Amino acid sequence: MMIVNLTQHPATPEQTTAGVVDLPAIQRAALAAALTVDTLPTRQEVIGRCEHIALLAVHNGLGGDGDDPHPAQAMIGGAPWMMRALEDALVNQGIGPVYAFSVRQSTEYTLPDGTVQKINGFRHVGFVQA
């Protein structure tokens, strides 16, 4: 099952293993432009941007000769005020919106001088249905 990545960030290796696919460069640039809002948007602007993003998921550039595979799901994330409209736009295109779920992992290392360095990271665990 293909899960198209509609976030600002490339999929992690764990997410790729779970079926997440990044959009090709041209579509990723269009996605980033649609997700980047620099002025206070109207509700209609938010809806329009989300409808555009949902169409990027459908016409994802991942197929040959324009025969793009229809993703079953889309991994989304970003501005909370945009996610509901994006969920709705995706559902209208027959795509199930999901959110990545990660757990924080901390590792501490004692350095040669006796100080301790702590490194935080996140490990992908699965998806939460919207």
What is the DSSP-derived secondary structure letter of residue 120? E
Domain extents in the chain: 3-129
CA distance 123 to 94: 29
pLDDT at residue number 120: 87
pTM of the model: 0.86
Can you tell me which residue has the tokens 């501490």? 108
What tens digit of pLDDT does each residue of 85-116 get?
A: 999 999 999 999 999 999 988 999 999 999 99
Looking at the chain, the whole-number percentage of residues with pLDDT higher than 90 is 88
The pLDDT of residue 88: 98
- Cβ atoms within 10 Å, residue 20: 25
Q: Which of 84, 15, 8, 94 is nearest to 55 (CA)?
A: 94
Task: Write down the mean pLDDT value for the chain.
Answer: 94
> Is pLDDT above 80 for 66?
no
